[in-house]
Structure 1
Amino acid sequence: MSRFRIERLVVLPPAEAWRRLTDWPAHGARVPFTRTTVLTPGRDGVGAVFTARTGVGRFGFDDPMEVVRMEPPGPGRTGVCRLVKRGRVVRGRASFEVSGTASGGSRVVWAEELRVRGVPAALDPVLAAAGRYVFGRVLDGLMHD
């Protein structure tokens, strides 16, 4: 299983960092050739389901995800969101954490554990490096718009 973790310190207060991080369509807008569709409109917390479709034309794959834990940050409390990836191609878990800093900003952590069908385990380090790069750019874009 490929694993990666990204951490950023941002100037946004925790509530705003959380709002941006859990704006699922905004994620797709930041990943090349990807569109995110929320399949449970109006449901933002546990049980929300969305799919990230990556590809060009007919060639691509779906990455369906479900929110299994959603606890927004609060005074003295770290916000935690956990997702389960249940696709044919991508399976695994993702998590986001947002906590306040002494300066009034936020510490944001994005972690994933995933398996990509057809990719041998020997390539897990390459997949993790690609994940850190791509999703690091996504996170930076979400936090700095």
Structure 2
Amino acid sequence: MASPAFEDIVEDFEFLEDWEDRYRYVIEQGKAMEPLPDALKVPATKVDGCASQVWLHPVIEGGIFRFDGESDAMIVRGLIAVLRALYNDLPVAEVPAIDARAELARLGLNDHLSAQRSNGLRAMIERIRMVAAAQV
């Protein structure tokens, strides 16, 4: 089951019929995130497989999974925000069980991202799942 924050995004997407508006919404979600400090933009947090520069910094405290992220591409930064809504504040043991592909399909993102963006999104999801699974 998706988090309440992700369900809010799903509801917002239902009201936005035009994909231009949906892209703008995703970009705005990314703009609303706090920037990742430069000290955390290191090779260990960089996600390979993305056309743009992407860094994800996971933190697990008290068994709860959270991550922050950054990208040099506005739409990718927005996709990071969507993934944060999907995964943040979940018990770390639940993170690998989330079917991100199915959840993101509810937004229609699978059909509206370029192949490069889709590959980058998969790489980010894989990194999140790998980090969480290593903690379980």
Which is strand-richer, 1 or 2?
Answer: 1
Same fold at TM > 0.5: no
User: Normalising TM by the smaller chain, what interval?
Assistant: 0.3 to 0.5
The two structures have a TM-score, normalised by structure 1, of: 0.32
Which is helix-richer, 1 or 2?
Answer: 2
Which structure's CA Rg is the greater one?
1
The two structures have a TM-score, normalised by structure 2, of: 0.33
